[in-house]
């Protein structure tokens, strides 16, 4: 059974917590439930899709940058920082 937002907001562990904290808990619990059984690749795709939806709702596209200052990268061209 898929939970709805009210299920998270009425969690007995957080009923007496201030509303702002309850909303944060609700979001974190919902994301956890949606991603807990995902592979790392599915997890990455989940966040990339959410990012794309967010930027589309704002009428813009995300701008990616590398730690080296390059700013004309796409999502697939981002680089990983190697730790020495």
Confidence (pLDDT) at 57: 92
At residue 40, the 3 state secondary structure works out as helix
pLDDT class of 82 with cuts at 50, 70, 90: very low
pLDDT tens string 10-68? 676 666 778 788 788 888 888 899 899 999 889 888 988 888 888 889 888 777 666 66
Nearest to 50 by CA among 36, 65, 31, 66: 31
Q: Where are the domains of the chain?
A: 5-59
Per-residue pLDDT at 8 exceeds 80: no
- Contact, 22 vs 12, CB < 8 A? no
What distance in Å separates the CA atoms of residue 73 and residue 40, rounded to the nearest whole number? 22
């Amino acid at each position: 059974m898929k939970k709805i937002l009210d299920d998270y907001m009425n969690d007995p562990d957080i009923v007496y917590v201030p509303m702002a904290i309850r909303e944060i808990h609700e979001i974190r619990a919902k994301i956890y439930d949606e991603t807990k059984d995902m592979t790392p690749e599915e997890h990455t795709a989940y966040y990339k899709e959410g990012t794309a939806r967010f930027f589309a709702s704002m009428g813009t596209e995300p701008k990616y940058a590398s730690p080296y200052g390059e700013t004309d990268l796409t999502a697939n061209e981002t680089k990983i920082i190697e730790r020495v």
